[in-house]
Every structure is written in C-alpha cells, then in structure tokens.
Amino acid sequence: MVGVVVQDGRIRRLFELTQPHVDFASLRYHRDQEDSIAVRQDVLQPLTTCRDEGVMVTVHHRGGTGYGATSELTEAGLRAAFARALLWAERTAKAAVTDFSRLEMPHAAGTFRSPIKTPWDSLSLGSKVELLSKLSRGLKIAPQIVDWSSSLWHQRSERLYLTSGGGEIYQDFDRLMPMLSVTANEGAETATRSFGRMAVCRQQGLELLDQSGFHGAGQQIAEEALALLAAPNCPSGPLDLLLAPDQMVLQIHESIGHPLELDRILGDERNYAGTSFVTPEMFGSYQYGSSLLNVTFDPSRPEQAASFAFDDEGRPAERAYLIKDGLLLRPLGGTVSQARSGMAGVANTRADSWRRPAIDRMANLNIEPGTSPLAAMIAGVERGIFMRTNCSWSIDDSRNKFQFGCEWAQLIEDGRLTQIVKKPNYRGISASFWRNLRQVGDLDSFEVLGTPYCGKGEPNQAVFVGHATPACLFSNVDVFGGE
C-alpha cells in the first residue's frame, strides 16, 4: 500500500515535466505532520498541529552540484527550484570537492512503512488529553514536587524520492514519543526524573504506550525525584560503572556514532559539529573496544526510530557490523562519502526535511546483546555505581574527551545496590573507555530506544536516530557528583 502522493502521481508528473537535461537529477518530496499534546501541572498546554510539505531538487552537472528547496508544488515552482539548483551546479563545477558527475547515484525503487498496530488517530483527541491529564495528576505526590508534566509527540513523515534514472522510492515513517517529567525542589536543591525524554522514541503506534511502560512509570519517577532530594551527592573517584540502556543511548551516540561518520572523517563538519579521532587507516585494524563490543548499523528492526529501506539518496539499507569483537570495521558513510573516500560504508545519507540536503547520519546504531544478566553484573561489582537516564552531554570536537551526567544513580557495594546518590556524572576518553567494557547485558536488559534530537550539518539539521542496547558494565571510570 502506498500513500496518496504516489497514487495520484502529481509529484512524479511534475518531476517528469520540470527536470532539466543534466548528468543527474533527483527530487525528494516530504509531507510531514506533527501533533504535540502536553499537560503540565494538570493544565493542558496549547495543542500544536503541524503540516509541512515541500521538495528538494538536486542536480549534478558537469562536475558541479546544486540544490533548490521550495514548498511551491507547481510546475513554475519546481522549474524555479531546478533553475536555482542548476545555477549552483554551474557555479560549483570547477570548485567542488569531487567530480559530482562521475558519482554513481542509485536509481532504486521500493517502499517502506512503519509497522503501526494502533494508529495515532485511533484514539480521539479528547481521550488522549484525558489519558495525559490522568497521568499528570498521578505525578504530584508530595508538596516538594514543583513541576510535573506528561506529553505525547507524534510525527508522520511521508517521503517520495525520484531520480532521473527512473528511481522511485516511497517511505512512510510514523513515530511516537511519550514523555513524563517530575521536578522536586527544596531550598536551593532541585532534582528531576523523567520517563522517555531523549530515549523512548520508536516507529510504533499507540501500542508503544503499553510496551514501554508509560502508563505505570509516573509513580516511580515521582518517588525517585523525592528520593534524590534527600540523597547525598555522588562520590568522586574511580568506580566500576554500570549504565542502564537509557544512558547507553547517549554513550553510543556520542562516542561511537559521531566519530564513525565518514563526513566528519573527511572534514566536512570541522567548522561546526567537529572532526573525529578516527582516521581512514584505522578501519580493519583498530581495536575500538574490548572483545565484547559488537556494534551494528541496523535499519532492519522495523520499529526502531531510524529504520528505513533506503536512505535519502536512494541507497538500499542493509544491516552491517561497524565494530565486531571490538575491532573497527566500517564507517557510517553514504554514496557521496564512499566515493570521495574510496571506503565501503552504509546507506545512511539523510535529511531532516525538504529544506536540507542529505548528509551522513548514524540512523540506527546498536550494541548487540551479550550474555550477562543484569543481576549478575551487579553481583560481580565490589565497588561501583549504577546510572540511569541521561541529563547532560558534552564531548570534544574529535569525539574523544567526554563528560556525561545522569538523573539517577545508586551505589553498588559488595555486589548489592545500596545508597541512592544525586547529580551523578562521569568523564572519560572514547579511545580508552570502550576498552574497559567488562560485561554486556543479555537480551533481558536489551531495549530499543531512540531520540529525535541529533543535531549536525551546515545548514543545521536535527534527525531521529535509534539506539538499541543492553545495560553495560565498564571498569575504572572517573565518577563525580555535584556541589
């Protein structure tokens, strides 16, 4: 089943009518809709409904490249967009980083659709508001709770990609992000606990609310926020560090995902998002982590946030190991980066909207489950700490020296979870941190997570990424707390 944009053929006809005679031309059409419903302190916030529609056309000609983006979906509008793209291709013909006309751009055909079981619209707006209001009321369990909220963010994005070589790809992405948040305060101390923020994001319908535990999470996070208020600061010093999946998401993203992006390695991002400590000659020989570290680019898990059948330059997406048994194998680079570098990559060239050109992104980047039950990992730690839920992230432009903070932590002493501690942070260096990976959780702690907030590129763009991971244990990490 395909969407109306393919059925009525309007965009295809416009493309056929307006594409210029050039070495390569493509059109990427987006039709997006977003709905955001939030209840804060038991008061419904203004609803936001977004409808966005437009195209980006791209031209490669005589070695140059150019794009034009417009929401004027008429023959005149597309002709104007192609004219501007062609003008740019002419301007850049002798000044481009590569001969764009020599690139072998894909001309594939196919479809993808998110595996939705209970569609967003199957529940009325009033019922969704009622659900969120009920959850909100359950969060204010003590006078110290000064702010609390519940929300749902739904996004559907239909994309049609057409090429001058007959390529035609239709993909229909449908994502849901449920969130809860509780803030407790006493004097100059504030503690926040949340559910879903930065982590629960999947291509699923309302069935995600049951599967993720959204309905029952409120009481726990409210109690935990109060517990943090009364807790001592996280201690300082080297400790064994056990990270829950909702912190592993960030750890994978920042210190594996970004450094492996081929456009960073090629220097495209050096003025903004940064470069990488990884260099081309390291692939195939560099021990990125301990032998327990297995990292895949996996677009094939359909419910994960950034699954797709083709990337935004029409390249068919397939699962691939980027790191196997700790050894670095392959970068995250799409068609153009692969051609520029001469390296094998993956299908990961993506754009956040019709306004932005596609660049190398990490999509779904997962740590494959290991064999260690969570309880056994805790039992095996003499002096350590268990951290959950990211709240702070910072890493250098080469993606090496990092410092991350979590909402929640509990000490591990002699194999048991003991004291709750607040403001837990840890810092390390990517190049050595992953070599201290001591245990990888089994399927029981494995969670399929993701975030809508991966920012990168000039001009800037933010995309959805997915990270599925079990809990992981690291040895000898520099841990510290607040003031």
Partner 1 sequence: MQQYFYQIADTATQGLQGSEVLTAYVSGEDSDFCRFNGAKVRQAGSVKQAKLELRLIVGRRNAQGELSLSGVRAEDDQRVSQMLTLLRDQLKQLPEDPYLLYATDVQSSERRHASELPGSAEVISRVVAQAKGLDLVGIYAAGSLYRGFANSLGQRNWFETANFNFDFSLYLHADKAVKTGYAGALWNEADFSAKLASAKAQLAVLNQPARSIKPGQYRVYLAPQALAEVTEMLGWGGFSLKAQKTKHTPLLRMIAGEARLAPGVTMIEDTAGGSAANFNDLGYTKPAQVTLIEAGVYRDALVSPRSAQEYGVKTNGAGADESPQSFALAAGTLTEEQVLPTLRDGIYLNNLWYLNFSDRPAGRVTGMTRFAAFWVEHGELREPLNVMRFDESLLRLFGDKLVGLTAKRELLPSARSYGQRSLEGSHLPGAIVDDFSFTL
Within residues 291-350, the interface with partner 1 by CB under 8 A covers none
CB of 121 to partner 1, least distance (A): 12
Tell me how far, at minimum, the Cβ of 13 lies from partner 1, in Å. 16
**285 burial level (CB within 10 Å; 0-12, 13-18, 19+):** exposed
Instruction: Label residue 452 exposed, middle or buried (CB < 10 Å: 0-12, 13-18, 19+).
Output: middle
Contact call for residue 393 and partner 1 (CB under 8 A) = yes
Q: Residue 74 or 219: which CB sits closer to partner 1?
A: 74
Q: Does 455 bind partner 1 (CB under 8 A)?
A: yes
Of the residues 9, 213, 232, 267, which one makes contact with partner 1 according to CB under 8 A? 267
Among residues 461, 460, 443, 444, which one has the least CA distance to residue 452?
461
Question: Segment 396-415, which members bind partner 1 (CB under 8 A)?
Answer: 396-398, 401, 403, 405
* Residues 358-387 within binding reach of partner 1 (CB under 8 A): 359
142 binds partner 1 (CB under 8 A): no
Which among 194-202, 264-272, 293-301, 314-322 is the span making contact with partner 1, rule CB under 8 A? 264-272
The burial of 33, by beta-carbon neighbours within 10 Å (0-12 exposed, 13-18 middle, 19 or more buried), is given as: middle
User: How many CB atoms sit inside 10 A of residue 37's CB?
Assistant: 20
For partner 1, give the closer residue by CB, 2 or 125: 125
Q: How far apart are CA 470 and CA 458, in angstroms?
A: 33
The pair of structure tokens assigned to 230 is 């009364």
What contacts 475, CB < 8 A, 6 or more positions away? 240, 436, 438
CB atoms within 10 A of CB 368: 18
Query: Given candidates 12, 62, 84, 137, which one binds partner 1 under the rule CB under 8 A?
Result: 84
Q: What is the total count of residues that contact partner 1 (CB under 8 A)?
A: 85
Which residues within the stretch 33-52 sit at the binding site for partner 1 (CB under 8 A)? 43-44, 46-52
Handedness of CA 103, 104, 109, 111 (dihedral sign): negative
Q: Does 392 bind partner 1 (CB under 8 A)?
A: yes
Compute the distance between CA of residue 137 and CA of residue 129 in angstroms, rounded to an integer. 12
Interaction residues for partner 1, span 424-443 (CB under 8 A): 425, 427, 429
CB nearer to partner 1: pick between 60 and 315: 60
In sequence order, the 6+-apart residues with CB closer than 8 A to the CB of 26 are: 57, 58, 105, 161, 162, 163, 164, 167, 313, 314
Residues 6+ positions from 411 with CB-CB distance below 8 Å: 235, 384, 385, 386, 417, 418, 419, 421
Residue 94 Cβ, how far from partner 1 at the closest point, in Å?
A: 9
Span from 135-143, 196-204, 272-280, 295-303 in contact with partner 1 (CB under 8 A): 272-280
Residue 445 CB, nearest distance to partner 1 (Å)? 26
> Shortest distance, CB of residue 84 to partner 1, whole angstroms?
4
Distance CA 480, CA 393 (A): 14
Q: Which token pair is 455?
A: 């920012």
Contact 452/412 with Cβ under 8 angstroms? no
Q: Which is nearer to partner 1, 109 or 462 (CB)?
A: 462
Q: Which of 123, 129, 141, 227 binds partner 1 (CB under 8 A)?
A: 129
Output the six-digit token pair for 436: 């201290």
Tokens 């201690």 — which residue? 235
- Residue window 152-191: x/- pattern of binding to partner 1, with contact defined by CB under 8 A: -------------------------------x-x-xxxx-
The reply to whether 462 sits near partner 1 by the rule CB under 8 A is yes
Minimum distance from residue 407 beta carbon to partner 1 (Å): 11
Residue (144 or 300) nearer to partner 1, CB: 144
Give the three-state DSSP class for 73: coil
**How near is the Cβ of 298 to partner 1 at its closest, in Å?**
27
C-alpha distances (whole Å) from 54 to each of 24, 70, 74, 112, 159 are 20, 6, 11, 20, 10
Identify whether the C-beta of residue 239 lies closer than 8 Å to the C-beta of residue 477.
yes
Residues 203-262 that bind partner 1 (CB under 8 A): none
Shortest distance (Å) from residue 415 CB to partner 1: 29
Contact between 97 and partner 1 per CB under 8 A: yes
CB of 18 to partner 1, least distance (A): 15
Work out how close the CB of 282 gets to partner 1 at its nearest, in angstroms, rounded to a whole number.
14
How near is the Cβ of 49 to partner 1 at its closest, in Å?
A: 4
Q: By C-alpha distance, which of 182, 216, 238 is closest to 389?
A: 182
Q: Which stretch binds partner 1 (CB under 8 A): 60-68, 171-179, 210-218, 284-292?
A: 60-68
- If binding is defined by CB under 8 A, does position 460 make contact with partner 1? yes
